[in-house]
Amino acid sequence: MNNKKTKNIFEQLEAMADVPKDLTGEPDYEGGMARNELKTAARDAMSLVQKLKESDQLPAWCQSKITMASEYIQTVKEFLESESASTEYMQETKLREVVRKMIVIKKTKALNEQKEEYQNERRLRNIIRRLIREKKEIENAPHSSTGINVLNDLLNTIIPTIKIDYKKLTSNKEQRDSFRAHIVKAIQNLLSPVDVTYNDEEELDQKNLNEEIEVNIETPNSAENPELDIEPDDSKFIDVKEKAKGKNKEETFQDIDELDKTGRNFAAECFDKIETQVQKSYTMLDNEEDRDIFYDYLLTNLKLHFDKMEDELKYTVKEPMTKQYQHQKNFDTKPEISKTDIMPQDPNKPQQPQAQTQGLPPMP
């Protein structure tokens, strides 16, 4: 491994992982002198190799010096090789430590990001739940008008009944238009006599009050009528009032001549189911403003719900078709042709009755 390249790698990793700089060690700059001396020794050794022959005899001291020089160089070589291997191992070990540290930092950062994302998602969910809960509380909160509160309960009761009967009329739109018109008209007629009842009762109370003021009460002699000495007890008085007569069934549900009769019949049956509930809800309201709001919003909501029902009927799902089914259907509707109709008859050969068999349809 190149020391310079390795050092550059360590410097980059240290900058990324904050590894102390003393882990990589300091480089050695004394190799230049050793290289020059080794080159000189190598040149001298090559010169001696060229001059000496295998048969030449050298003095003992020359042989000793050559042997010592060879041993010294070999010793230095083995030392440097072992030191290089040790340095490379240490560098690799330190590199692994740096990589491990970077992996730990990366994992820690990823875990922190996941934790923060989870916390943010949890906070968002809590906010959404709170908004949904507040919306439900607002929707379930009573309206400021008593008439609207009563109307809300009534619509929740009668609209499902009306929807069931309305969606049965699928032959044509004229039936549904007739159903709608008869229901709205019947409810208008139903609530009209209720207003008359309230007005009649108010007029009757006012008339009785005026009569009580105008009547001159003469007090007979108590001696002639002893029963007059008994003072009347007002708590025992039972007031009897005549109920104002409303319209009957025929007057409430009136036929509209130019509209479809089937829709009229369905509307009449449906109105029988909801008539009591509508009238009961309306008569609960004694305040004139509440009755007016109830009446106006009832008719408006009925028309809006009828529009919604009509839109729902537009998206009727059609039955899916297949090529095989259509082919079989077309084949079954074709007239059957016997062999005698397409093959010429031999006048000399007696005719035999042939059994008519229905062939199988050809493969598509």
pTM: 0.42
| Count of beta carbons in the 10 Å neighbourhood of residue 209 | 10
Domains of the chain, by residue range, sit at 3-27+59-137, 146-212+244-314
pLDDT at 316: 60
Q: How far apart are CA 167 and CA 169, in angstroms?
A: 5
pLDDT at 33: 84
Q: How far is CA 15 from CA 11, 21, 98, in A?
A: 6, 9, 11
- What is the DSSP code string of 294-323? HHHHHHHHHHHHHHHHHHHHHTPPPPP--H
- What is the DSSP code string of 15-39? HHHT--GGGS-PPP--HHHHHHHHH
Q: How far apart are CA 234 and CA 232, in angstroms?
A: 6
Burial 257-268 (b: 16+ CB within 10 A, else e): eebbebbbebbb
Q: How far apart are CA 159 and CA 274, in angstroms?
A: 9
pLDDT at 127: 92
pLDDT at 110: 92
Name the nearest CA neighbour of 278 among 201, 193, 199: 193
What is the end-to-end Cα distance of the chain in Å, rounded?
A: 75
In this structure, the dihedral spanned by the alpha carbons of residues 269, 274, 280 and 281, taken in order and rounded to 10 degrees, is -150
Asked if 281 contacts 294 with a C-beta cutoff of 8 angstroms, the reply is: yes
The token pair at 343 is 């093959």
Per-residue pLDDT of the chain (364 residues; tens, 9 = 90+): 455 555 565 565 555 545 444 444 454 557 778 888 888 989 988 988 888 888 888 898 988 988 998 888 888 888 777 767 777 777 888 888 888 989 999 999 999 999 999 999 999 999 998 888 888 777 666 778 898 999 999 999 999 999 999 999 998 999 999 999 999 999 999 888 655 455 555 555 555 555 554 444 444 454 454 444 445 555 555 554 444 444 555 566 778 888 899 999 999 999 999 999 999 999 999 989 999 999 999 999 999 999 999 998 887 656 666 777 777 777 666 555 554 554 555 555 555 544 444 444 554 4
Q: How far apart are CA 60 and CA 274, in angstroms?
A: 137
Name the nearest CA neighbour of 267 among 286, 284, 253: 253
Q: How far apart are CA 295 and CA 191, in angstroms?
A: 8
Q: How far apart are CA 181 and CA 259, in angstroms?
A: 9
Name the nearest CA neighbour of 263 among 192, 176, 327, 333: 176
- What is the DSSP code string of 234-271? GGG-----PPPP---HHHHS---TTS-HHHHHHHHHHH
